[in-house]
């Protein structure tokens, strides 16, 4: 796993450099660093140790640190939910019965210190259920094959399918039952007459 790279903001190169950073260029992160950032968003701005293991007990408060205000994080999560709405680029990451908050990404790979014009990482990172996030997942497709290479086209569907199965296995309660009806899914708790 490569380390990320983020220069001090004073070295971003003025207005153009700041604009590039705003949409994800000029720095790099690895998958675990991206997941850690999403864990902060899922935890209302509190940085917690990252784990792939199911916790039997809540994290030790001594290991937590507030890094963003809860108010700001909730606003960001609301915007990330819009990205997974029918009008958003991440719609294919939807999971029937659950509100999903996430973001698509399509990144030119860096080859020999330069952005490659036709080689990509396609990604989707998100959290579920958006009303009270319990799970964060990052999907990165390295050099997708075929004509499609956008994160919303390539990685978002993988997120939706995989997260749907994980939620089912972990028996996470749905937070958006109306979407299950729209998708033609009948929740197990509803009984037909």
Q: What does the pLDDT look like over 3-39, one tens digit per residue?
A: 777 777 787 778 887 787 777 777 778 889 999 999 9
Tokens of 189: 């708790």
In a domain, 67, yes or no: yes
In a domain, 78, yes or no: yes
In this predicted structure, the answer to whether residue 45 has a pLDDT above a threshold of 80 is: yes
In a domain, 3, yes or no: no
In a domain, 76, yes or no: yes
In a domain, 103, yes or no: yes
In a domain, 99, yes or no: yes
Q: What is the pLDDT of residue 185?
A: 54
**Bridge partners of 111?**
114
* Bridge pairing between strands 101-111 and 114-128: antiparallel
* Residue that wins the pLDDT comparison between 191 and 17: 17
In this predicted structure, the answer to whether residue 110 has a pLDDT above a threshold of 90 is: no
Q: What is the pLDDT of residue 181?
A: 58
pLDDT tens sequence across 120-164:
999 999 999 999 999 999 999 999 998 999 999 999 999 999 999
Q: What is the pLDDT of residue 80?
A: 97
Q: What is the pLDDT of residue 51?
A: 77
Q: How far apart are CA 5 and CA 167, in angstroms?
A: 33
In a domain, 53, yes or no: yes
In a domain, 4, yes or no: no
Q: What is the pLDDT of residue 22?
A: 75
Structural domain of residue 120, as residue ranges? 9-182
Q: What is the pLDDT of residue 182?
A: 55
Q: What is the pLDDT of residue 134?
A: 93
Instruction: Provide DSSP, the chain.
Output: ----B---GGGS-HHHHHHHHHTT-S-B--HHHHHHHHHHHHTTTEE----SSPPSSPPPGGG-EE-S-HHHHHHHHHHHHHHTSTTSTTGGG-BTTB--EEEEEEEEEEETTEEEEEEEEEEEEEEESTTS--EEEEEEEES--SS---HHHHHHHHHHHHHHHHHHHHTPPPS-HHHHHHTTPPPTT----
pLDDT tens sequence across 160-175:
999 999 999 999 999 8
Q: What is the pLDDT of residue 29?
A: 82
Count the domains in the chain: 1
Q: Is the peptide bond before 163 cis (omega within 30 degrees of 0)?
A: no
CATH number of the domain at 76, please. Answer: 3.40.710.10
Q: What is the mean pLDDT of residues 179-192?
A: 51
pLDDT tens sequence across 55-97:
788 778 888 999 999 999 999 999 999 999 999 999 999 999 9
């Amino acid at each position: 796993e490569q380390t990320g790279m983020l220069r001090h903001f004073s070295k971003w190169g003025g207005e153009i450099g700041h604009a590039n950073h705003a949409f994800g260029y000029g720095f790099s992160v690895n998958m675990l660093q991206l997941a850690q950032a999403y864990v902060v968003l899922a935890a209302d701005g509190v940085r917690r140790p990252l784990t792939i293991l199911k916790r039997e007990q809540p994290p030790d408060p001594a290991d937590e640190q507030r890094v963003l205000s809860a108010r700001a994080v909730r606003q960001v999560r609301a915007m990330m939910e819009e990205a997974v709405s029918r009008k958003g680029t991440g719609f294919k990451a939807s999971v029937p019965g659950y509100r999903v908050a996430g973001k698509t990404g399509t990144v030119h790979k860096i080859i020999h210190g330069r952005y490659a014009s036709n080689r990509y990482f396609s990604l989707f990172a998100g959290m579920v259920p958006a009303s009270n996030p319990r799970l964060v997942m990052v999907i990165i497709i390295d050099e997708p094959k075929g004509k499609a290479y956008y994160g919303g086209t390539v990685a978002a569907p993988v997120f939706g399918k995989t997260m749907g199965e994980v939620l089912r296995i972990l028996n996470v309660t749905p937070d958006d039952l109306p979407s299950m009806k729209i998708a033609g899914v009948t929740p197990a708790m509803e009984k037909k007459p």
